[in-house]
Amino acid sequence: MRVLLVEDDRMIGESVHDALKDCSYAVDWVRDGKLALTSLMTHVYDAILLDLGLPGADGFEVLRTVRRGDQPVPLIVITARDSIEDRIRGLDEGADDYLIKPFEIAELLARMRAVIRRRGGQAAPVMTNGVLTLNPATREACSGGALIRLSSREFALMQALMIRPGAILSRADLEDRIYGWNEEVESNAVEFLIHSLRKKLGVDAIKNVRGVGWMVSRQT
């Protein structure tokens, strides 16, 4: 899942960004309201975390832009503005939740899962292709009755492939699902992750389609 984080405070932004990455989300972090508006025009997001006090464009302007769109994206306001007037305004203008700073990261993640469920998204579904099973809650894979612990990046890659067993994803497709667009990505990062996953899950867990990309088989 891809998350847009709009937060101008570096310390808070880094904490939230790192926590989301640890949970296998791809995160685009911007610190300016205008950059957030640009991101919304060029990318599709599964969830948005939005501060209100932003340079460039106010958070309420970003919120209104999101709600004028066609997709009901789950959105949580994260802000130091704790007046009842601001809370009512945020919810009335379309926020799914309103979380006041300072907050615990664990609570933010729980609220994210809740608003995704309420919006009809799939919050951490268990996935299987008939042979391999992925559990997002524990970041474990089950293959041949054995539980295998995966790193956050390994899990994100397998999750991208397991969403549609039989579909081929290119290197660019996988990078887009694993990394935020402001992250540096080594040229062989995807190949390194696939090599590591094959060592853990077996050489046949991920199929290489030469010159095109990778896939997991659909078992019946």
* Beta pairing partners, 47: 3
Residues 27 and 95 in one domain: yes
- Please give the Cα distance from 105 to 102 (Å, whole number): 9
Torsions phi, psi of 113, nearest 5? -60, -40
Residues 98 and 193 in one domain: no
| The amino acid at 22 | D
Residues 85 and 160 in one domain: no
In a domain, 220, yes or no: no
Q: Which domain holds residue 73?
A: 2-118
Residues 114 and 171 in one domain: no
Judge contact between 66 and 75, C-beta under 8 A.
Answer: yes
Q: Look at residue 182 in the predicted model and tell me its pLDDT.
A: 65
Query: How far out from the chain centre does Cα 206 lie?
Result: 22
pLDDT by residue for the chain (220 residues), tens digit each? Answer: 789 999 999 999 999 999 998 887 889 999 999 999 999 988 888 899 999 999 999 999 999 999 987 668 899 999 999 999 999 999 999 999 999 999 999 999 999 988 888 876 554 567 888 888 888 767 788 887 888 988 878 888 998 898 888 899 999 889 888 887 667 778 889 999 999 999 999 888 899 999 899 999 876 4
The pLDDT tens digits for 123-176 are 456 788 888 888 876 778 888 788 898 887 888 899 889 888 889 999 988 988
